[in-house]
Structure 1
């Protein structure tokens, strides 16, 4: 289990590290849509497929990100955290996931050994971490906080809409809303007695 210090520290990947496995994707238009009550069902179906494909390799699967928060507008992309014993052992999960349509797109050794696989239809970002990654705790805490705090849910939605102009890659969009995300994290960490 990560320490409070590890969980509350805002970290970024090494900026000199090229995370793109097959080169950066072309810029895409970011579209925010109203909350879709089908998102939890879509997550359940996809999570079942991932568990079936990987068997005992799966330590945990969680619906995270904006589509996991009822009432929050979001990109129509399901974000999932997949916990495996060692993300560096890509041979234990990438080939099996490739067989059901996933493509390894991001590899970030400097950021908790994060890997991201993408499914095109339905759109899924499958984030892979090891069991000691503080990001697993952070993602769940952020999701649960937004579910219970409508004022921060609105604040976050406003930040997402404000981040759309400017175009570029989704990582550019993420960077433009980062200050708001970190403000919310700090608030929830203080409320949890972690800061």
Structure 2
């Protein structure tokens, strides 16, 4: 989705946010047509996370959560916790499932990102309850699910940008920010 109301991240900021060295992409972005199996795959991943952590709030976000929208074939899950900075409370359980803590951003809502390989791979975003970014992510998803004109605009934007070569996938995400902001404004966020 890209960071709303923020400038693009510099190479240094991307590197600083990564727990391990960021992966240099230096390629175009592969987008796939919507796969009707993605919601079921979300439920499977969510069940595994709940099995490891107990009853937690999980949401399917990102383009794979919107029927009819092309997407990078990576599931974006949102785990909403009281305190993402308390990594001891949840990271070991997720690591036991194969997730790898990849990004730690204490200055941006205490955001954490864990990755899981597989088919499809998973990006698990961890944000705090009541966080503005949680509200934006859910409002954006819901707007795209219910407003074809915004879904089509976002799809065209994604396809156009996917044709460019991006050093980091984050650069591609940041490039979508202006369109994301306009859609969120129409969603009232």
TM-score (norm 1): 0.86
- Pick from 153, 157, 161: which aligns with 2:151? 153
CA RMSD of aligned residues (A): 1.8
Residues in 1 aligned to 2:9 and 2:64: alpha-carbon distance in whole angstroms: 28
Residues in 2 aligned to 1:159 and 1:80: alpha-carbon distance in whole angstroms: 22
Count residues in correspondence.
Answer: 180
Higher relative contact order (CA 8 A, sep 6+): 2
Within 5 A, what are the aligned runs for 1:87-106?
87-106=84-103
Within 5 A, what are the aligned runs for 1:139-178?
139-164=137-162, 165-178=164-177
Question: Which runs of 5 or more structure 2 residues have no equivalent in the other structure?
Answer: none
Residues in 1 aligned to 2:17 and 2:85: alpha-carbon distance in whole angstroms: 14
1:10 aligns with 2:5: yes
Question: Which runs of 5 or more structure 1 residues have no equivalent in the other structure?
Answer: 1-8
* Alpha-carbon distance, 1:11 to partner: 4.3
Residues in 2 aligned to 1:177 and 1:14: alpha-carbon distance in whole angstroms: 13
Residues in 2 aligned to 1:64 and 1:14: alpha-carbon distance in whole angstroms: 21
2:62 is matched with which residue?
65
Question: Aligned to 1:156, what secondary structure does the other structure show?
Answer: helix
Within 5 A, what are the aligned runs for 1:1-195?
10-11=5-6, 17=13, 18-27=16-25, 29=27, 30-56=29-55, 58=56, 60-122=57-119, 123-164=121-162, 165-189=164-188
